[in-house]
Chains A and B, each alone.
Chain A
Amino acid sequence: MKLLKDKKVLFLLVCVVASILTIVFNGISFGVDLSGGSTIVLQTEKPVTEQEMGVITEILTSRLNTNGLSDVNVYSRGSEEIAIEIPESADLERIKKVIAQQGVFYATIDNVTAYTGKDVEYVEEPALTAAGYGVSFKLSSEGADNFANVSYGKGGYKVLLYLDEILISDPVLSPDLADGKPHPSQVITVAGSNPTKADEDQAWAIYTALKSGSLPVKVNIAYINSISPTLGEEFIKSSIIAGIIAFLAVATVIGIRYKTPKIVLPILITGASEVLLILGFASIIGWKLDLAAIAGIIATLGTSVDHQIVITDETLAGESKKVKRSIQRAFFIIFGAAATTIAAMSPLFLMSIGMLKGFAITTIAGVLFGVFISRPAFARIIRELLRKY
């Protein structure tokens, strides 16, 4: 009971309780590699300004929304990468087509530009039209006027429609439309009345490009990771099982070494409290736990147990008068080890290997919580318990 009055022990208790409350009420979210869904990383052709990046993420979000995905998370990573997280099963082939196109659209007749994507005022979802399966859209009055001028007297010429420099359709201009009057309603057909899946994807890509506009630079798909939600659940479940079994194995080893629950239990409880602190921290900052973050938690737990063994052994070795110095030495070791671990993890921040950021964050957070919150409390507890031992 005396322990509860100790400031360091109290501080640990308060932090653990706060973590548990945060986890219970705020919840923990899992990254798509654990819960299922897709992560896509796009790379821009060249570095872009912050402003352009804003435009890109906005357009990509609207493109994904246009294709029926609402809960997407699009964010930039540095000046060349855009990460997209889609937390549900999605038609990847269509998504890839839709997001990876720059979306620069224009139509020419006899080598003169008749209209561009900017002249498109309204687009309808792909459907069967009188001319076949395709996308109907309306030009602005300005665009329709320009089309009227360019097409005048060109009946029988082909209208060449380009998307990202690729010819997507080349209908023959009917003489009715070449009468010099504005005809704002246009159709791009991609197939006859029986479209295949590829035709549908193509039509949706055109629709999306017309609706959301073009990206300021070309982008390439650099990375895709897609996991079905059921498999994601398996991952979470098995990580927890693996964690518990590994924990029990550690308990057995230190049980054999110290042979008394007075030492073993505090080590295990302190280790577990550090995991709770990390999870609470992840919950507060809204960090999504992914497989890499789980690796970080395992690393922290390993270091935590190691350091508590150091504290325990120093406490056991110290003669009654010298315990204080022993503990000081234990903390010298622990601070040194913690500093080197943080030093070893810091390049992952400076260099943004995006996929390992979760790992670095959980490891560093775990080390800091350990050094400043849980290990000082553990030292007090073990000293108090060993006095009677």
Chain B
Amino acid sequence: MYKNYKVLTVIPVILALLSVVFVSVNGLNQSIDVSGGTEITVIVPNNFDYSSLEKQYPDVDFKISTSSSAQYLDVKAGTNVDIDELRNSLAAALNTDDLSKLQYTEKQIGSTLSSNFWNQGFQAVGFAFLFMAIVVYAIFRTPVPSFAVILAAASDIVIAVGGMSLFGIPISTSTIAALLMLIGYSVDTDIMLTTRVLKRKSDTLENRINQSMKTGMTMSITTIVAMAVLYLVVSYIVPAAEMLKDISIVLLIGLIADLMLTWVTNVGILRYYVTELKKSK
């Protein structure tokens, strides 16, 4: 297997490239953070029938989600919908004169702010990545190992975005936060691996890699388990706290991809660097 490591190394990178293609074809769901509009979540009685509302507002997206204690109606409308009217119809359907008397959340974003958001979110991830790359280079000061860390982090973000496209997770404030967190988590294991391999002199290369893997797997698995739990708990208890749910699922996808990127791609490049490139110099 070790002979084939160079082939294996590129597989996750190819997966990342496929992700790019997939995202550009399939596109990303946009939350109202990006597209502008209104999102209303309200607790409704069991068996609440919203089909007449659906008929009345064909452009509006209605969705029911159920938790252990209640049933939530999630309403998403673009900027082209008259929100006051929609709110009144919704109140009428729920037999109340004022929605704010119910268990209710409403989020409304204007189109100027949402277009700003798109730019700023994009820039935030871009600059975060750039700053991270500079710091990583400053830490190792050798091009190839630094490049491996940065490549792994970049592929990781791209695969996470691919996962968002695949599962229809919208790009929003919370998922941008998740992508930024992912940069941190991804780099954590990569830095640990690179430091162990380059700085520890006493052991053989294989032992250093295996030791790092033991540590790194523990790091990743604790976070993966924590995120899986968070996802399940939030889905089951409060579907309305969508932010936490989105963050946990994006991190989950990214962290699983990170296992592959760190222990196949990054390890592969380091092994090549230590056994062949460094010796030839």
The residues of B that contact A30 with a CB separation of less than 8 Å are none
Whether B160 is near chain A, meaning CB under 8 Å from some CB there, is no
CA of A43 to CA of B114, assembled, Å? 12
| Chain A 338-361 residues near chain B, CB threshold 8 A | 339-341, 343-348, 350-353, 355-356, 359
Q: Which of A238, A329, A344 is the one whose CB lies under 8 Å from B132?
A: A344
Whether A228 is near chain B, meaning CB under 8 Å from some CB there, is yes
Whether A122 is near chain B, meaning CB under 8 Å from some CB there, is no
Q: Which of B108, B233, B243 is the one whose CB lies under 8 Å from A292?
A: B243
Stretch at the interface among A49-57, A110-118, A242-250, A276-284: A242-250
Whether B191 is near chain A, meaning CB under 8 Å from some CB there, is yes
Whether A220 is near chain B, meaning CB under 8 Å from some CB there, is yes
Known A235-B240, A291-B244, A333-B191: A250·B222 in contact at CB below 8 Å: yes
- Would you give the 0/1 interface string for B166-195, flagging 1 where the beta carbon is closer than 8 Å to chain A? 000000011011101101110111011001
Q: Which of B84, B126, B196, B233 is the one whose CB lies under 8 Å from A242?
A: B233
Whether B65 is near chain A, meaning CB under 8 Å from some CB there, is no
Q: Which of A224, A230, A332 is the one whose CB lies under 8 Å from B103?
A: A230
The residues of A that contact B100 with a CB separation of less than 8 Å are 89-92, 226, 228
The residues of B that contact A227 with a CB separation of less than 8 Å are 104-106
Contact assessment for B128 and A295 in the assembled complex, using a CB-CB cutoff below 8 Å: no
Whether A173 is near chain B, meaning CB under 8 Å from some CB there, is no
Contact assessment for B223 and A302 in the assembled complex, using a CB-CB cutoff below 8 Å: yes
Total interface residues in chain B, CB < 8 Å: 75
State how many angstroms separate the Cβ of B246 from the closest Cβ of chain A: 10
- Would you give the 0/1 interface string for A315-348, flagging 1 where the beta carbon is closer than 8 Å to chain B? 0010000100000010011001101110111111
The residues of A that contact B113 with a CB separation of less than 8 Å are 41, 43, 222-223
Whether A253 is near chain B, meaning CB under 8 Å from some CB there, is yes
Contact assessment for A242 and B110 in the assembled complex, using a CB-CB cutoff below 8 Å: no
Contact assessment for B225 and A339 in the assembled complex, using a CB-CB cutoff below 8 Å: no
Query: Most B CB atoms within 10 A — which of A246, A332, A333, A340?
Result: A340
Whether A4 is near chain B, meaning CB under 8 Å from some CB there, is no
| Chain B 119-143 residues near chain A, CB threshold 8 A | 120-121, 123-124, 126-129, 131-132, 134-136, 138-139
Q: Which of A92, A241, A309, A341 is the one whose CB lies under 8 Å from B233?
A: A241
The residues of A that contact B53 with a CB separation of less than 8 Å are none
| Chain B 189-232 residues near chain A, CB threshold 8 A | 189, 191-192, 195-196, 199-200, 202, 211, 214-215, 218-219, 221-223, 225-230
Contact assessment for B218 and A253 in the assembled complex, using a CB-CB cutoff below 8 Å: yes
CA of A230 to CA of B222, assembled, Å? 33
Q: Is the interface of B mostly helix, strand, loop or mixed?
A: helix
State the total of A-B contacts with C-beta under 8 angstroms: 233
The residues of B that contact A226 with a CB separation of less than 8 Å are 100, 104-107
CA of A353 to CA of B117, assembled, Å? 7
Known A226-B104, A340-B136: A309·B191 in contact at CB below 8 Å: no
Contact assessment for B184 and A341 in the assembled complex, using a CB-CB cutoff below 8 Å: yes
CA of A291 to CA of B234, assembled, Å? 13
Contact assessment for B199 and A306 in the assembled complex, using a CB-CB cutoff below 8 Å: no
Q: Which of A231, A253, A313, A337 is the one whose CB lies under 8 Å from B191?
A: A337
Contact-residue size bin, chain A (C-beta under 8 Å from the other chain): 35 or more
Q: Which of B181, B202, B218, B234 is the one whose CB lies under 8 Å from A309?
A: B218
- Would you give the 0/1 interface string for A287-298, flagging 1 where the beta carbon is closer than 8 Å to chain B? 000011011001
Contact assessment for B103 and A340 in the assembled complex, using a CB-CB cutoff below 8 Å: no
State how many angstroms separate the Cβ of B57 from the closest Cβ of chain A: 19
Known A230-B103, A257-B218, A299-B184: A340·B191 in contact at CB below 8 Å: yes
The residues of A that contact B135 with a CB separation of less than 8 Å are 336, 339-340, 343
The residues of A that contact B234 with a CB separation of less than 8 Å are 238, 242
Q: Which residue of chain A is the closest to B211 with respect to CB atoms?
A: A317
State how many angstroms separate the Cβ of B21 from the closest Cβ of chain A: 26
Contact assessment for A295 and B218 in the assembled complex, using a CB-CB cutoff below 8 Å: no
Instruction: List, sorted by A's number, 17 A–B pairs whose CB atoms are closer than 8 Å.
Output: A41-B113, A92-B106, A225-B108, A231-B105, A235-B238, A242-B237, A253-B225, A295-B181, A299-B184, A322-B202, A333-B195, A340-B139, A340-B184, A341-B183, A344-B128, A346-B131, A356-B173
11 further contact pairs, Cβ within 8 A, besides A221-B108, A291-B244: A90-B100, A225-B105, A234-B240, A238-B233, A247-B226, A295-B178, A301-B226, A305-B223, A306-B188, A344-B187, A356-B177
Residues of B within 8 A of A (CB): 43, 84, 98, 100-110, 112-113, 117, 120-121, 123-124, 126-129, 131-132, 134-136, 138-139, 173-174, 176-178, 180-181, 183-185, 187-189, 191-192, 195-196, 199-200, 202, 211, 214-215, 218-219, 221-223, 225-230, 233-234, 237-238, 240-241, 243-244, 247
Q: Give 9 nearest A-B pairs by CB, closest first.
A: A343-B131, A222-B113, A347-B127, A341-B184, A224-B108, A344-B128, A242-B233, A313-B215, A306-B219
